């Protein structure tokens, strides 16, 4: 299990002022006004057992202690050497509660952690499988409640270790690959480098080939890379001063990041908020500044809209970065970037902010990306279809 200890600490505020974002306007204080009908229901597939592999481990264990096989070997040795047949000693009993370690170092698990939030039976098991290690390592002390359920991941509010300097963390637990329900992500993977669980470039040619071929192993690697790209984007953008959650720890299909909201309620997304008069214009400018800052870091969100922007006490936080695109690696980057800008402009148009989205996207792009990049490289019919389809899905 790859689990990374805290990679950040200190203040939980987002987008702390830094050299890279001195042009971003200061936030205006305010009070959240939001709809109470937030979609926090888990998908029905949580009713399907999420923990798999126990039988495989049992099979592995039994394979190490196959008494019949050892019997046959003993008989062969006896016939060859003429000696008496020696009965193999029975394998030592293994307590059912032990977890098998393929390296041979079976150990009894640490005591189960009692969380405040329980959830359904299968959800309960899933949460413990993902988060118990972080409790034993002192990163979090409790899981308090469900923040938001989604097709790709579920977010929980956790009590943070006081030593981190923040009261809460958000635990984003990605669903196991076979239980995820994703849009077609080929558009975002074009030209993308494969990353391993540690966020390092995958250089093994066999692993890369497996990902391209789409074998079971390759799909598992692609799933790991998808998560690793979100973590890499959060680290880079937070360091640059963007309004994104600060990542604290990662491992076992989980990213622990700064939480936005209070103990009673997570911050709503912009599509659930009705901004007060005078708030819309500065918040729109703030979002646009973040879009430009991201592009300067060679990062396009790829799915930006009011659904992926949190609002809390007059401030915004951009979330959900697994599908980020590097404009220098993906020929569809310019079209994806323009779509992000258009979605943001469309939302704020409801507050009377009239902006030419195409012209705005073109101006920002020209300041950070060479004009002739991907010149003469047309998008494929599949890429155009995916852009159009996903645009309608969010619109």
Complete DSSP assignment for 202-213 = P--HHHHHHHHH
What average pLDDT is seen over the chain? 75
Name, of 10-14, 141-145, 328-332, the range with top average pLDDT: 141-145
Q: Report the C-alpha gap between 388 and 258 in whole angstroms.
A: 33
Domain assignment present for residue 314? The answer is yes
Within this chain, do residues 128 and 204 fall inside the same structural domain, yes or no?
Answer: yes
DSSP per residue, 36-99? S----PPPGGGGS-----HHHHHHHHHHHT-HHHHHHHHHHHHHHH--PPPPPPPPPP--TTPB
Q: In this structure, what DSSP letter does residue 377 have?
A: -
Confidence of residue 131 (pLDDT cuts 50, 70, 90): very high
Alpha carbon distance 306, 273 (integer Å): 9
Total residues belonging to the chain: 395
In the chain, % of residues over pLDDT 90: 45
115 and 253 share a domain? Answer: yes
State residue 55's pLDDT score.
36
Q: Would you say residue 273 lies in a domain?
A: yes
pTM of the shown model? 0.68
What sign for the dihedral angle of Cα 173, 174, 176, 181? positive
The verdict on residue 33 lying in a domain is: no
- Name the nearest CA neighbour of 171 among 206, 130, 218: 130
- CA 179 centroid distance within chain: 15
- Per-residue pLDDT reduced to its tens digit, 276-312: 989 999 999 999 999 999 999 999 999 999 999 999 9
Residues 235 and 288 grouped into a single domain: yes
Range of the domain at 86: 63-95
At residue 199, the pLDDT reads 76
171 closest CA partner among 269, 247, 234: 247
Per-residue confidence (pLDDT) for residue 265, from 0 to 100: 93
**205 in the same domain as 83:** no
What's the sign of the alpha-carbon dihedral 132, 138, 143, 147? negative
Residue 39 lies in a domain: no
Q: Residue 96 pLDDT more than 70?
A: no
CATH code at position 340: 1.10.510.10
Residue partners of 258: CB distance under 8 A and separation at least 6 = 12, 14, 166, 169, 170, 245, 246, 247, 248
- Same structural domain, 170 and 89: no
Residue 184: what pLDDT? 61
Residues 190, 86 share a domain: no
| Whole-angstrom distance, CA of residue 269 vs CA of residue 291 | 17
239-265 confidence digits (pLDDT tens): 999 999 999 999 888 999 999 999 889
Strand ranges, E, within 102-198 = 140-149, 153-160, 168-174
For residue 163, is pLDDT > 60? yes
Residue 307 is assigned to a structural domain of this protein:
yes
Compute how many other C-beta atoms are within 10 angstroms of the C-beta atom of residue 261. Answer: 18
Cβ proximity of 304 and 288 under 8 Å: no
- Dig out the tokens for 189 from the structure: 């993977």
Distance of CA 132 to the CA centre of its chain: 18
pLDDT for the residue 4: 53
For residue 55, tell me if it sits in a domain.
no
Q: Do 151 and 72 share a structural domain?
A: no
- Give domain status of residue 44, yes or no: no
Domain assignment present for residue 19? The answer is: no
**Within this chain, do residues 183 and 72 fall inside the same structural domain, yes or no?**
no
Least Cα distance to 291 among 178, 283, 263 occurs for 283
21 vs 244, higher pLDDT: 244
Q: Check whether 337 has a pLDDT greater than 90.
A: yes
Question: Distance (Å, rounded) from C-alpha 128 to C-alpha 115?
Answer: 9
Higher pLDDT, 322 or 6: 322
Q: In sequence order, what are the residues at sequence separation of 6 or more whose Cβ sits closer than 8 angstroms to the Cβ of residue 383? A: 187, 190, 331, 332, 335
At 370 the pLDDT is: 92
354 plus 380 within the same structural domain: yes
Asked if residue 71 and residue 172 are part of one domain, the reply reads no
3-state DSSP assignment of residue 326: coil
Task: Judge if 70 and 119 occupy the same domain.
Answer: no
What is the total count of domains within the chain? 2
In degrees and rounded to multiples of 5, residue 332 shows phi and psi of: -90, 0
In the predicted structure, residue 183 carries a pLDDT above the cut 60: no
Are residues 78 and 174 both part of a single domain?
Answer: no
How many angstroms separate the CA atoms of 189 and 308, rounded? 20
Is the predicted pLDDT of residue 45 greater than 50, yes or no? no
Query: Can you tell me the mean pLDDT for 73-92?
Result: 47
- CA 223 – CA 245 distance, rounded (Å): 22
At residue 229, does pLDDT exceed 80? yes
Neighbouring-strand partners of residue 195: 201
């Amino acid at each position: 299990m790859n689990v990374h200890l805290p990679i950040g600490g200190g203040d939980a505020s987002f987008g702390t002022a830094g050299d890279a974002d001195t042009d971003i306007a200061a936030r205006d204080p305010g009070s959240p006004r939001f709809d109470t009908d937030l979609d926090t229901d888990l998908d029905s597939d949580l009713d399907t057992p999420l923990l798999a592999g126990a039988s495989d481990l049992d099979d592995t264990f039994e394979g190490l202690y196959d008494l019949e096989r050892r019997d046959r070997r003993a008989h062969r040795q006896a016939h060859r050497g003429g000696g008496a047949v020696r009965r193999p000693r029975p394998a030592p009993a293994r307590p059912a509660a032990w977890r098998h370690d393929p390296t041979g170092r079976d150990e009894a698990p640490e005591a189960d952690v009692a969380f405040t939030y329980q959830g359904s039976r299968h959800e309960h098991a899933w949460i413990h499988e993902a988060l118990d290690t972080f409790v034993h390592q002192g990163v979090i002390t409790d899981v308090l409640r469900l923040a938001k359920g989604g097709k790709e991941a579920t977010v929980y509010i956790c009590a943070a270790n006081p030593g981190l300097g923040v009261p809460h963390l958000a635990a984003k637990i990605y669903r196991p690959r076979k239980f995820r329900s994703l849009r077609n992500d080929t558009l975002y993977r074009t030209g993308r480098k494969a990353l391993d669980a540690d966020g390092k470039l995958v250089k093994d040619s066999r692993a890369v080939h497996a990902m391209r071929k789409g074998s079971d192993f390759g799909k598992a690697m692609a799933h790991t890379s998808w998560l690793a790209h979100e973590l890499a984007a959060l680290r880079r953008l937070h360091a640059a001063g963007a309004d994104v959650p600060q990542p604290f720890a990662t491992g076992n299909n989980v990213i622990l990041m700064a939480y936005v909201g209070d103990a009673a309620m997570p911050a709503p997304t912009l599509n659930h908020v009705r901004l007060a008069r005078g708030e819309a214009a500065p918040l729109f400018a703030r979002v646009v500044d973040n879009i430009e800052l991201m592009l300067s870091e060679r990062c396009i969100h790829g799915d930006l809209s009011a659904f992926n922007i949190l609002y809390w006490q007059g401030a915004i936080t951009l979330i959900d970065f697994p599908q980020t695109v590097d404009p220098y690696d993906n020929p569809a980057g310019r079209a994806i970037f323009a779509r992000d800008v258009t979605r943001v402009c469309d939302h704020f148009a409801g507050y009377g902010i009239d902006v030419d989205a195409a012209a705005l996207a073109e101006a920002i792009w020209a300041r950070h990306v060479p004009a002739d990049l991907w010149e003469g490289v047309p998008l494929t019919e599949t890429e155009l279809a995916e852009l159009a389809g996903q645009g309608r899905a969010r619109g």
